């Protein structure tokens, strides 16, 4: 049985997929199980490509319209102690898995380890900036549940997590819009374990015209789904009522920041999150500052 299971989701991007697969196959750590989940590509290019690798398992499913279901199918087919996810247009740096396995092996109190990404363009050129790197490492390290929600998330190509954590947290939510499922999943994880933040770029995140998350209007609805996460954590007694109130305010503030781009949706969602949001000075202050910018 392989120690690390890698789940790669793909859809109609065989050219990028090859670069992604090569970055996994060429890891300095080789005790890997590689599973590619094809979300109903319209051709057989991905299958042909995967068959050219000796150690890549290919599974094709009916198109689901988003990454949540393919990732869940991948999870249902893994055998490794640790699990990592990768989209078909992103690239791992060579020592990523080796460094992360060492950290999880030596730090049992952490359920996952993550980092930040360097950004590349459509042609793979380094853009000269990164995403997901905090000014203060402590923000993303340790017990992060009170720091994370409404403020930041993990970069999808970077985490390595224990399979046992997935058993506790559950699968990706297929009932929420695409581009939100990863934020919702990692937020849930924060209530079950500590995060280990490694302040190194371990992956290249590709920015291009067909990014599913690029300028995605679905993000305006994210706070509503985070409110539901909080509700379940309160019911599960993983947070106190006081912590729930504090985090719900963070979610409200996050929603209020959308007022310029999506005014109607923002007001509707503010009422969904908390019908009494109008009596909170901090929320009103955010809205006013955004409007008069």
Among 81, 62, 88, which residue's Cα sits nearest to residue 7? 88
Quote the pLDDT of residue 1. Answer: 78
With a cut of 60, say whether residue 212 has pLDDT above it.
no
CATH superfamily for 4-214 is Spore Coat Polysaccharide Biosynthesis Protein SpsA; Chain A (3.90.550.10)
CB atoms within 10 A of CB 105: 11
When pLDDT is averaged across residues 105-121 and rounded to a whole number, the result is 98
When pLDDT is averaged across residues 7-15 and rounded to a whole number, the result is 96
Helix 222-235, helix 181-189: angle, nearest 10: 30
Quote the pLDDT of residue 211. Answer: 66
Quote the pLDDT of residue 216. Answer: 67
**Beta carbons within 8 Å of 98's beta carbon, 6+ residues apart:** 27, 28, 29
**Beta carbons within 8 Å of 157's beta carbon, 6+ residues apart:** 85, 86, 87, 90, 91, 92, 117, 202, 203, 204, 205
When pLDDT is averaged across residues 14-32 and rounded to a whole number, the result is 97
Q: Above pLDDT 70, what percent of the chain? A: 98
With a cut of 70, say whether residue 214 has pLDDT above it.
no
Distance CA 190, CA 169 (A): 9
CB atoms within 10 A of CB 96: 26
Average pLDDT of the chain? 95
- The pLDDT tens digits of the residues spanning 150-184 come to 899 999 999 999 999 999 999 999 999 988 999 99
With a cut of 70, say whether residue 121 has pLDDT above it.
yes
Quote the pLDDT of residue 292. Answer: 87
Please report, for the chain, the start and end positions of each structural domain, with discontinuous segments joined by +: 4-214, 218-291
When pLDDT is averaged across residues 38-60 and rounded to a whole number, the result is 97
When pLDDT is averaged across residues 238-266 and rounded to a whole number, the result is 95
- The pLDDT tens digits of the residues spanning 55-98 come to 999 999 999 989 999 999 999 999 999 999 999 999 999 999 99
The band of 200, judged by pLDDT with boundaries at 50, 70 and 90, is: very high
Q: Which residues pair with 45 in a beta bridge?
A: none
DSSP, res 148: H
């Amino acid at each position: 049985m392989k120690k690390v299971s890698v789940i790669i989701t793909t859809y109609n991007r065989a050219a990028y997929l090859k670069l992604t697969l090569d970055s996994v196959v060429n890891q300095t750590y080789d005790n890997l199980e590689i599973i590619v989940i094809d979300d109903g590509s319209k051709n057989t290019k991905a299958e042909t490509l995967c068959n050219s690798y000796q150690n890549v398992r290919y599974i094709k499913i009916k198109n689901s319209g988003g990454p949540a279901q393919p990732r869940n199918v991948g999870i249902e087919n893994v055998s490794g102690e640790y699990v990592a996810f990768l989209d078909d247009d992103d690239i791992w740096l060579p020592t990523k898995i080796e460094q992360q396995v060492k950290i999880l092996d030596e730090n049992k109190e952490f359920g996952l380890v993550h980092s930040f990404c360097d950004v590349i363009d459509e042609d793979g050129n380094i853009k000269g900036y990164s995403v997901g790197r905090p000014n203060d490492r402590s923000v993303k390290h340790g017990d992060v549940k009170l720091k994370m929600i409404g403020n930041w998330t993990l970069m999808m190509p970077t985490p390595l997590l224990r399979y046992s954590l997935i058993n506790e947290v559950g699968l990706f939510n297929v009932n929420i819009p695409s581009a939100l499922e990863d934020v919702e999943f990692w937020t849930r994880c924060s209530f079950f374990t500590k995060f280990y933040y490694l302040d190194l770029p371990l992956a290249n995140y590709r920015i291009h015209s067909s990014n599913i998350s690029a300028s995605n209007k679905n993000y305006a609805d994210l706070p509503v789904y985070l409110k539901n996460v909080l509700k379940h954590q309160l019911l599960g007694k993983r947070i106190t009522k006081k912590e729930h109130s504090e985090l719900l305010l963070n979610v409200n503030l996050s929603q209020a920041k959308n007022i310029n781009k999506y005014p109607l949706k923002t007001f509707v969602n503010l009422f969904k999150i908390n019908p009494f949001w109008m009596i909170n000075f901090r929320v009103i202050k955010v809205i006013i500052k955004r409007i008069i910018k």
